[in-house]
Amino acid sequence: MFAIYGTVCHICGHDGAGEADHLTPVSLDPGQPLDPHLMRPAHGANAPCRTCGRLCNTERGNRAITKAVRTSRNW
């Protein structure tokens, strides 16, 4: 997934993401395949954002991606 999308967090837009975030949370679709095209880089508990300090993937939880969550300016 990182080879495809790099390390820019798809939630806050800052570099250094170290986790794979499922676009549709696994808890909402437990049968989804482990497809790198269904995931995006995000910051999380193991790699918080060095710019905004957020744990993007952790804070998003199992909520859908919305414009209110997608940019650090709206946090």
Beta carbons of 57 and 44 less than 8 angstroms apart: yes
pLDDT number for residue 42: 95
pLDDT of residue 55: 94
Question: Which residue is listed with tokens 């790699």?
Answer: 47
Higher pLDDT, 68 or 4: 4
Of 30 and 69, more confident: 30
**pLDDT reading at 68 higher than 70:** no
Q: Is residue 35 scored above 50 in pLDDT?
A: yes
Question: Which of 13-27, 37-51, 59-73 comes out lowest in average pLDDT?
Answer: 59-73
